[in-house]
Structure 1
Amino acid sequence: MNIFLWVLQIILALHTAMGGIWKFSNSEQAVPSLSAIPHGAWMAMGVFELVLSLCLVLPAFYKPLAFLVPIAAACIAVEMLVFCGLHIASGDTNYGPMIYWLVVAAICTFIVYGRLALKPFTYAAIA
């Protein structure tokens, strides 16, 4: 289970880092349902996502920072749920992006559950 959680964490870290970088090169207007987000908050979310992606993989190099993994995954899940709420509030009837965000939130929730309940305090790097 530990290896599976690490694989999910690495994939989520790559996904989140790409999302953070994408936010620097694209406006919040690129996704019409997210246009309610102010530009400054959009940029701050990009930086925050890069930090969160780092927090997901840092325990592989420095084990005492393992407590950051469930916190980072929970923050990403909350962000995805906020995106879903904004999408619903915008009245957009294309639910494709919302399904995507809900899948990412579910993966994040599984990582939180896995690191806190299934494998508590076993953050050994791929072992």
Structure 2
Amino acid sequence: MNIFLWVLQVLLALHTAVGAVWKFSHSAEQTMPSLKAIPSGVWMGMAILELICSVLLILPVLNKSWGISTSVGAIIIAAEMLLFCGLHLVSGEENFGPMVYWLVVAAICAFIAYGRLVLKPF
């Protein structure tokens, strides 16, 4: 289980870092029209937060006592994905494909957080 959680953590960290880099070069509206309610300053702040979360996901490799950082990073990413889902619903968009994607990422984040807090702490 420990190896599986590490694989998920590394993949989620890479996914989140790529998303952060994407945010630096694209506006929220360019990414998804339903996210146009997010101001550009908040969008850039989210990119920085995502980079921090990417580091938090792999930080315990340096020191096991920082193990809680994995769960914190995963919970923040899950909250962001749920925020995107909420904005998508409020926008009235009828294409639910992006919501499925965001919910899958949020579920993976929840599993990592649960796995590190309950199933297999560091």
Structure 2: which 5+ residue stretches go unaligned?
A: none
Q: Relative contact order (alpha carbons < 8 A, sep ≥ 6): 1 or 2 greater?
A: 1
Mapping of residues 84-99 of structure 1, within 5 Å: 84-99=85-100
C-alpha distance in 2 between matches for 1:89 and 1:111? 28
Cross-structure match for 1:101: 102
- CA deviations on 1:84-106 (whole Å, 9 max, x unpaired) are 00000000001011000000000
**Do structure 1's residue 12 and structure 2's residue 15 form an aligned pair?**
no
When the two structures are aligned, how many residues end up with a matched partner?
Answer: 121
Cross-structure match for 1:3: 3
C-alpha distance in 2 between matches for 1:118 and 1:41? 34
**Do structure 1's residue 26 and structure 2's residue 26 form an aligned pair?**
yes
Matched residue type, 2:9: Q
- How far residue 37 of structure 1 moved from its aligned partner, in angstroms, is 0.3
Cross-structure match for 1:67: 68
- CA deviations on 1:19-57 (whole Å, 9 max, x unpaired) are 000000001111100000011000000000000001100
Matched residue type, 1:27: S
Structure 1: which 5+ residue stretches go unaligned?
A: 123-127
- Percent identity over paired residues: 60
- How far residue 63 of structure 1 moved from its aligned partner, in angstroms, is 1.9
Q: Structure 1 residues 95-104 or 63-72, which shifts more?
A: 63-72
- How far residue 64 of structure 1 moved from its aligned partner, in angstroms, is 2.0
Report if the CA contact (8 A) 2:68-2:117 is conserved. Answer: no
C-alpha distance in 1 between matches for 2:59 and 2:71? 12
